Amino acid sequence: MDAIGQFFAMGGYAAYVWPAFAIVLVVMALMWFTGIHGWRKSEQTLAALRSNRRQREGDAE
Amino acid sequence: MKPFGAVIARDLRLAVRQGGATFLALVFFLLTVTLFPLGIGPEPAILARVAPGVLWVAALLAAMLSLDRLFQADFEDGSLEQLTLSGLPLGGIVLAKIIAHWLTTGLPLLLAAPVLAVLLNMSDEGFAALLLTMLIGTPALSLIGAIGAALTLTVRRGGVLLSLLVLPLYIPVLIFGVSAIDAAVHGLNAKPHVLLLAALTLAAIPLCPWASAAAVKLSLE
Amino acid sequence: MSMHYFANPTRFNRLAGRIQPWAGGLAAILLVVGLYMALFEVPADYQQGDTVRIMFVHVPSAWMAMFCYSFLAVASAVALIWKHPLADLAAKASAPIGAGFTFLALVTGSIWGKPMWGTWWVWDARLTSVLILFFLYLGYMALWQSIEDGQKAAKAAAVLALVGAVNVPIIKFSVDWWNTLHQPASVMRMDGPAIHPSMLWPLLIMALAFQVYFVALLLARMRMELNLRRIRALRLAERSS
């Protein structure tokens, strides 16, 4: 138990070490998910537009 | 060479006829410098310490604010496109306009700077360095600023964007300009600082018109 | 295989789709390993104590900030000179990632600085250069945003990126120059302590993790930009028909 507490205390620098690591991970995760989300959304929009178009071309014939 | 001079003369004539712009740049310069004693207090020693930096920062901002008229008006009324038909390469036109811009902003700022230096109680040793660095450095402001002005030509209300693009690029001019004056004030050798500033301006003379011309071409397409 | 082999967007899309999950997975594994080493295996520094661990996220972030700008500049040059149709997408896609890492380098540098210097911010040469680099990223992204015509925006942004790339070393030099004039030499630099071999491996693994993460995210963002370009073209065609 003591070892774990010591680890989290970071030699008294817990208030600096943990926020630094946390913000890096949070920002990297945010960039990752916004990137993937934006890509997925663009795929869906593109697919919808294409099927619309195909439909209209089918109607025209 | 003839059309090159003609472009400069034309821009100068326009600047004189429309007046205003040079005057506004000078008033802005004066006003910004006036704000500093009011902001940080009138103690002569403190003002003397910050004078080189304040003068350069204010000159930087004044030069930047006048950039939008470098190409904007000529672009909007179509005379920029007409100038390209004059046989002068676009880079030449851009350089001519930059020279005219410097003559109507950089030069007046340079002439006003010593007066403002007196207001800020700058020590006497700094005046020669102030004039010299402004003489060498302000052309670089017009040259580098032309790139920003050219890039934001088609942007509506591009003023804030222009400052975001240009100010980071002005930083080396600011640093070498101020450090030269500081060195002179403290009785140190100002030569290396001045030489670096000169190198900066010399490098900007061929590169900046070229890059600005590339950007102007985009807007004319 | 010529450079224009991947100029075919469909081919690129297929290849990117195959690489992306592997790169993402590899980045996650490297990140876990690197974090484990940085937090558990590296001993506390005798001078800086446990704050030295911040180096393992700060230094790779700063490296990535520089790397992404170089990547952006090279991609812009390729777009301008060889008119490679994917290069301007690569440049555009890399900018927000680079700005993110630059932001992280600034924040972690500031957090690291607090116990080292006693204040959150010191006008240290490296932090100042990174701050200016951050402004360069913001200007680049703002220029993309504010020109509506996609092709013109791409070219204008490429010109700006190249101008910025020429200026980065000049700015760096001038800031170092300025810094030596104003800072006493005794101020501790952000370089951290002399790198001990036990620190080198975790640092390299973290740097590699960030690099692979960049590749995975860049591919995703490029595919998104590619889709957006197609969507814009489709909508334009619809409106005109």
How many angstroms separate the CA of residue A25 from the nearest CA in chain C? Answer: 9
The answer, for C54 touching chain A at a CB cutoff of 8 Å, is yes
In a domain, C94, yes or no: yes
**pLDDT tens digit string along C110-131?**
999 888 888 888 888 888 999 9
pLDDT of res. B215: 93
List CB contacts (< 8 A) between C96 and chain A: 31
Indicate the residue type of C66: M
Q: What pTM did the predictor assign?
A: 0.92
Per-residue pLDDT tens over the stretch A10-24: 878 888 999 999 999
Q: C121 by DSSP, 3-state: which?
A: coil
Per CB-CB distance under 8 Å, the chain C contacts of A57 are: none
N-to-C CA span, chain C: 39
A42:C221 CB<8 A:
no
Q: Does an H or E element contain C81, and which? A: helix C55-81
Q: What is the extent of the structural domain holding C143?
A: 22-240
Q: Which of C112, C217, C227 sits opposite A31 (nearest CB)?
A: C217
B147, B171, B179 ranked by CB distance to C171: nearest? B171
**Separation between Cα atoms, residue B29 and residue B22, nearest integer Å:** 11
Two tokens, residue B133: 């660095």
Domain range summary for chain A, segments of one domain joined by +:
2-60
Question: For residue range B59-79, what is the model confidence (pLDDT) as tens digits?
Answer: 999 999 999 888 888 888 888
Q: Do C136 and B155 touch (CB under 8 A)?
A: no
Tens-place pLDDT, residues C181-227: 875 444 444 555 556 677 888 999 999 999 999 999 999 999 999 99
pLDDT in tens, B12-64: 888 888 777 889 999 999 999 999 999 999 999 999 999 999 999 999 999 99
Does residue C151 sit within a domain? yes
| Residues near A30 by beta carbon (within 8 Å), at least 6 away in sequence | none
State the nearest Cα–Cα gap between C81 and chain A, in angstroms: 28
Cite the DSSP H helix spans in chain B.
2-18, 21-40, 44-65, 72-76, 79-84, 90-101, 107-119, 126-151, 159-185, 191-220
Instruction: Please state whether at least 3 CB pairs lie below 8 Å between chains B and A.
Output: no
Write the Ramachandran bin of C76: left for phi over 0, alpha for psi from -120 to 50, otherwise beta.
alpha
State residue C7's pLDDT score.
66
CA distances from C154 to A48, B27, C158, C166, C181 (A): 27, 38, 6, 18, 40
Q: Name the residue in chain B with its Cα closest to that of C135.
A: B168
No. of helices (H) and no. of strands (E), chain C = 6, 0
Minimal Cα–Cα distance from C154 to chain A, Å?
Answer: 20
Phi-psi region of C48 (alpha: psi -120 to 50; beta: other; left: phi over 0): alpha
Q: For residue B173, which of C197, C178, C238, A51 has the smallest C-alpha distance?
A: C178
Neighbours of A18 (CB within 10 A): 16
- Nearest residue in C to B216, CA atom: C156
- C96 touching A, CB under 8 A? yes
Q: Which of C171, C181, C176, C183 is nearest to B182 (CA)?
A: C181
Give the closest residue to B65 by CA, choosing from B117, B120, B8, B26: B26
AA identity, residue C229: R
What are the structure tokens assigned to A58, written together? 């089918």
Average pLDDT over residues C1-17: 74
Residue type, C228: L
Q: How many CB atoms lie within 10 A of CB C21?
A: 11
What one-character-per-residue DSSP string does A4-54 give?
HHHHHHGGGTHHHHHHHHHHHHHHHHHHHHHHHHHHHHHHHHHHHHHHHHH
Enumerate the domain spans of chain B.
2-220
Radius of gyration of chain C (CA): 20
- Contact between B35 and B58 under an 8 Å Cβ cutoff? The reply is no
What are B100-111's pLDDT values in tens digits? Answer: 999 999 999 999
Is residue C6 predicted with pLDDT exceeding 70? Answer: no
**pLDDT for residue C1 is more than 50:** no
Contact between B10 and B16 under an 8 Å Cβ cutoff? The reply is no
First-residue to last-residue Cα distance in chain A: 76
Q: Does C42 touch chain A (CB under 8 A)?
A: no
Asked if B155's CB is within 8 angstroms of C174's CB, the reply is no
Which of the four pLDDT bands, split at 50, 70 and 90, describes residue A1?
A: low
Identify whether the C-beta of residue C28 lies closer than 8 Å to the C-beta of residue C6.
no
Enter the DSSP assignment of C49: B
C158 or B16, higher pLDDT: C158
Rounded Cα distance between B47 and B41, Å, is: 8
Contact residues, chain C, for B196 at CB < 8 Å: 174, 177
Mean pLDDT of chain C: 88
Instruction: Kindly report each contact of residues A14-21 with a partner whose C-beta sits within 8 Å and lies 24 or more positions away, as own/partner.
Output: A16/C51, A16/C54, A16/C111, A16/C112, A16/C114, A16/C115, A17/C50, A17/C51, A17/C53, A17/C54, A19/C111, A20/C54, A20/C57, A20/C58, A20/C107, A20/C108, A20/C111, A20/C112, A21/C35, A21/C39, A21/C53, A21/C54, A21/C57
For the segment B147-172, the average pLDDT, to the nearest whole number, is: 92
For chain C, the domain total comes to: 1
Residues of A in contact with C227 (CB under 8 A): 39, 42-43, 45-46
Nearest by CB: C50 against A13, A32, A39? A13
- Taking the C-alpha atoms of residue C77 and residue C165, their distance in angstroms, rounded to an integer, is 10
C-beta of residue C133 within 8 angstroms of C-beta of residue C72: no
Give the whole-angstrom CA distance, residue C137 versus residue C119.
Answer: 26
What is the least distance, in Å, from the CA of B182 to any CA of chain C? 10
Q: Which of C89, C102, C77, C82 is nearest to C162 (CA)?
A: C77
The answer to whether C223 touches A39, Cβ cutoff 8 Å, is yes
C185 in a domain, yes or no? yes
Residue of B64, B144, B147, B151 to mutate, testing the C interface (most C Cβ within 10 Å of its Cβ): B151
CB contact under 8 A, A7 and C50: no
Query: Mind telling me how many Å the CA of C181 is from chain A's nearest CA?
Result: 30
Q: Is the Cβ pair C177, B196 closer than 8 Å?
A: yes
Higher pLDDT, B122 or B86: B122
**Can you give the pLDDT at residue A30?**
97
Contact C238 A53 (CB under 8 A): yes
